[in-house]
């Protein structure tokens, strides 16, 4: 127990710095809480598909899913998140969310959004998981299953390409997508200052 208190004493700033460190930590905590609130971060813990459109770049995918047959039976997480155990599910959501947040915050999103390799593996697992009791079970296991993991099989969407997102190919080509309005142009006097 004494070692614990010694460690705490070592981590404490010198007397003259305590107020500065306290204010800095308060500002950092406030900025973090504000970012957490603005990004609606708690929504990502749910299975609500509207969480996927917190970033406007996902509107085409949301719109195409909303007009698909999968809408009645599956949400975004049913297809795009692992379901074999709780820890893997939330680890995947956190790591994928961090990647998405970084890309979208830095405005590096591509015009055509494509699924990455870990995401492909998860979607493939979920296709088989949901459709395992249907007539196509034998085909799915023979064509995909372990063969896909070895790089020898096919993905379900090699044949079922338009399920459930239709022909979404870019942010600009999706019907029924909610397109955010552009910001109002800067006033003329401000534009003159910039030039």
pLDDT tens-place string over residues 29-50: 999 999 888 878 788 888 888 8
Task: Give the least confident one: 40-54, 136-150, 158-172.
Answer: 136-150
Compute the C-alpha angle 132/134/140, nearest 5°.
50
Domain boundaries, the chain: 1-38, 50-179
Residue the block writes with tokens 């003329």: 188
Residue 101 contacts residue 144 (beta carbons within 8 Å): no
What pTM does this model have? 0.67
pLDDT at position 23: 92
Percent of the chain with pLDDT over 90: 17
Identify the top-confidence range among 17-21, 88-92, 168-172, 183-187. 88-92
Q: How many CB atoms lie within 10 A of CB 144?
A: 20
Of the candidates 82, 72, 80, the residue with the CA atom closest to the CA atom of residue 51? 80
Nearest Cα neighbor of 60 from 169, 185, 182 is 169
Tell me the C-alpha distance between 129 and 131, whole Å: 6
CATH class name, domain 50-179 = mainly alpha
pLDDT at position 30 is 95
**Whole-angstrom Cα distance, residue 42 to residue 189?**
41
At 25 the pLDDT is 92
Residue 168 DSSP code: -
Per-residue pLDDT at 177 = 58
What's the pLDDT tens digit per position in 46-67?
888 888 887 767 888 888 888 8
C-alpha count within 13 angstroms, C-beta hemisphere, residue 49: 18
């Amino acid at each position: 127990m004494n070692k614990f208190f010694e460690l705490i004493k070592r981590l404490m700033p010198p007397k003259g710095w305590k107020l500065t460190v306290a204010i800095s930590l308060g500002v950092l905590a406030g900025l973090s809480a504000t970012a957490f609130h603005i990004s609606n971060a708690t929504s990502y813990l749910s299975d609500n598909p509207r969480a996927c459109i917190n970033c406007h770049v996902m509107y085409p995918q949301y719109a195409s899913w909303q007009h698909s047959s999968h809408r009645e039976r599956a949400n975004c997480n049913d297809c795009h998140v692992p379901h074999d155990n709780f820890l893997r599910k939330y680890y995947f959501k956190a790591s994928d969310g961090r990647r998405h947040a970084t890309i979208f915050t830095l405005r590096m999103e591509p015009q055509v959004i494509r699924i990455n390799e870990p995401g492909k593996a998860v979607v493939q697992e979920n296709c088989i998981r949901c459709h395992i009791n249907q007539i196509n079970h034998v085909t799915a296991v023979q064509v995909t299953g372990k063969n896909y993991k070895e790089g020898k099989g096919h993905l379900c969407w090699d044949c079922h390409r338009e399920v459930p997102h239709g022909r979404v190919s870019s942010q600009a080509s999706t019907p029924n997508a909610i397109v955010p309005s552009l910001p109002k142009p800067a006033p003329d006097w401000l534009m003159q200052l910039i030039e």
